[in-house]
Amino acid sequence: MVTEATQASGEVPGPADAAALMDVILGLVRVQVLHGIAALQVADHLADGARTAEEVAERAGSQPRATYRLMRAAASLGVLSYEGNRRFGLTARGHLLRAGVPGSLRSFVLVQAGPAQWPAMGMLPDAVRQGTSQAKAALGVDIFDYLAQPEHAEEAGQFSEAMAGLSSLQIAGAVAAADMTGVSTVVDVGGADGQFVLELLTANPGMRGQVLDLPHAVEAARQEADKRGLSARFSAVAGDFFEKVPTADLYLLKTVLHDWDDERALTILRNCRAAAPDGGRTLVVEAVVGEIGEPDFAVLSDMGMLCVTGGIERDLAEYDAMFAASGWRRGKTYPVGAGYSGLELHAV
C-alpha cells in the first residue's frame, strides 16, 4: 500500500523520478551531440556570426537536414543560440568548443566521446566487477600504448590538446593562489612540457625550475622554455619519478597521483619527501572527491579513471592518509578552477 509516508521518503517512484532518471540516461546523447559539434567544427563555422544550418552544412561537408537537427539539439544544451529562420549563433559555452581559443574544451570532447575512451566507458560494469581498467579489453592494449601507435597519432594529438586545455585552467588558478614564500627552486614532477613550472617562473623572476619526466617528454619542455625566453632559469631532466626526484624547495604534482594506485602514488610522494630539504613543500593539484550524494565532477572523473586508465580520484581523507604515510602534512587547500583543488603539503 502506498502511503504519504513512503512517498515522502522517496521509496515509491513517481513520474518526476522517471523524468529525472530519463534525463540522466540521455546524458550519453548530450555527450555525442557535443562530439558532433566538435568533430564538424560547427563552433568554428559560427565564430564570425550566426549562420543557417544549410550554410554550416556546406562548410562542414555534412547533410543539411541532419546538421539542422544536430544544431537544434545543441541549442537545447545552451551551446548554440537560435536566431530564427534556421539561423544559429554561438553562446559563451559554444565558444569553448572552438579550436585554438584559450580554455578550449573541443579536444576534450573529441577524446571523451571518441574511439579511444568511449568503448572502455561502455564496459564500466566489467571494470567494477574486476576493479581494473577495461581499455585493454576494448582496444587490445592499454590507453597509453594505444595512443602511442602511429595509426592513432591524430587521437594522441587530441589527447595532448585536451590535457593542455584543462591544464591551462588549473595552472592559472594554482599560480594565482599558491604561496611561493621562500621558494627559489621548483621541480615539476611528471610535468610533460613544463607549462606549470614555466608559468611559475614567469610570475616569480628570481625562481629556477625544472621538469622531471620520461625521455620522450622532456624535449617539449626545453622547446617551451626556449619559446618563453626562460631557458636560463630552466632545465628538463629525463628520469623516473618512481626511482628518485631532484632536490627542490617545492615539488609540483599536477594530476599525477590520480593516475596511479595507492602503492605507486605513495612511492612518488615518498621520493619527493626523501629529496626535499627541511621546510620543503609540495603542491598537489587534483580533483578531490567531495560529499557523497552531492553533484561532483571528481566522482564522475573517477569512473573514467576506473574504466580507461586504471587510476583513482580520492577524497581528502584518503589523500591525508597517503600524505601522512609518506612524510607530508597538508596545509592550505583551495580551488584552482575546472573542478580541481590545490593541496599544499609541508615536510614533517
pLDDT digits (tens, 9 = 90+) for 18-27: 999 999 999 9
Q: For residue 8, tell me if it sits in a domain.
A: yes
Domain boundary among 66, 98, 130: 98
Least confident interval from 65-69, 220-224, 267-271: 220-224
To the query of whether residue 258 is one of the catalytic residues in this protein, the response is: yes
Q: In Å, what is the CA distance from 176 to each residue of 15, 160, 211, 250, 342?
A: 47, 24, 20, 16, 11
Average pLDDT, the chain: 94
Q: Where is the domain boundary, 98, 115, 150?
A: 98
Mean pLDDT of 71-81: 98
Residues 80 and 226 in one domain: no
**Percentage of residues of the chain with pLDDT beyond 70:** 97
pLDDT band, very low/low/confident/very high, at 167 (cuts 50, 70, 90): confident
Residues above pLDDT 90, as percent of the chain: 88
Q: Is residue 235 part of a domain?
A: yes
Residue 7 pLDDT: 56
The domain total for the chain is 2
Q: What three-state secondary structure class fits 190?
A: coil
pLDDT-derived band of residue 1, with 50, 70 and 90 as boundaries? Answer: very low
Q: How confident is the model at residue 163 (pLDDT cuts 50, 70, 90)?
A: confident
| Per-residue pLDDT tens digits for 172-200 | 999 999 999 999 999 999 998 899 999 99
Domain that includes residue 70, residue range: 4-98
pLDDT-derived band at 270, boundaries 50, 70, 90: very high
CATH number at residue 258: 3.40.50.150
How far apart, in Å, are the Cα atoms of 103 and each of 162, 276, 317, 341? 10, 33, 31, 17
Q: Are residues 85 and 218 in the same domain?
A: no
pLDDT band at 9 (very low <50, low <70, confident <90, very high): low
* Cα–Cα dist 58/294, whole Å: 43
Residues 84 and 185 in one domain: no
- 195 Rama class: left (phi>0) / alpha (psi -120 to 50) / beta: alpha
In a domain, 191, yes or no: yes
Spot the catalytic one: 95, 152, 216, 258. 258
The cell for 50 is 550566426
Mean pLDDT, to the nearest integer, of 223-242?
A: 96
The tens digit of pLDDT for each residue in 114-145 reads: 999 999 999 999 999 999 999 999 999 999 89
Which pLDDT score, from 0 to 100, does residue 249 have?
98
Q: What is the pLDDT of residues 288-331, one digit of tens each?
A: 999 999 999 999 999 999 999 999 999 999 999 999 999 999 99
Domain boundary among 47, 64, 98: 98
How many angstroms separate the Cα of 136 from the Cα of each of 41, 133, 318?
A: 30, 7, 28
- What are the helix (H) ranges across 10-91? 15-25, 27-39, 42-45, 53-60, 64-76
Residue 69 lies in a domain: yes
Same-domain status, 194 and 341: yes
Residue 96 has pLDDT above 90, yes or no: yes
Whether residue 202 has pLDDT greater than 70: yes
68 in the same domain as 216: no
> Is residue 94 one of the residues assigned to a domain?
yes
**Cα–Cα distance list, 80 to 44, 170, 300 (Å):** 12, 26, 25
Query: Averaged over 255-274, what is the pLDDT?
Result: 96
